[in-house]
Amino acid sequence: MTVSPQPYEVIQLVVRTFREFGGDVREAWDVDQTILVGGGSYRGRSYRADGLMAMWLIDVGIIQFYSAEGDMLRTVNLFERVEAQRIAA
């Protein structure tokens, strides 16, 4: 069973990952969020802080992390991550 992650779970992952890549991010409030809409539907969110960027693509269940230069740093499959966490609990 695949379960979609909640926005608060995703922002926690973003904060931890931005810190891992050297971002000065202490909490969710340090991250600028933008809701992405296309064709009248909610498509995802983008996150920016301290020169780093992440994009959560809702339909495919991934979040991609980018450096200030636009290099992709990491891709995380959120469907697998959430499913594994819920099974373990």
Give me the domain span that covers residue 42.
7-88
Q: What pLDDT does 81 receive? A: 59
As a whole number of angstroms, the distance between CA 70 and CA 65 comes to: 9
The verdict on residue 80 lying in a domain is: yes
Number of folded domains that form the chain = 1
Q: Is the pLDDT of residue 1 over 50?
A: no
As a whole number of angstroms, the distance between CA 67 and CA 87 comes to: 32
| Tens digit of each residue's pLDDT (9 = 90 or more) over 54-79 | 999 998 999 999 999 999 999 999 88
The verdict on residue 42 lying in a domain is: yes
The verdict on residue 2 lying in a domain is: no
The verdict on residue 1 lying in a domain is: no
pLDDT band at 2 (very low <50, low <70, confident <90, very high): low
| Tens digit of each residue's pLDDT (9 = 90 or more) over 12-37 | 999 999 999 999 999 999 999 999 99
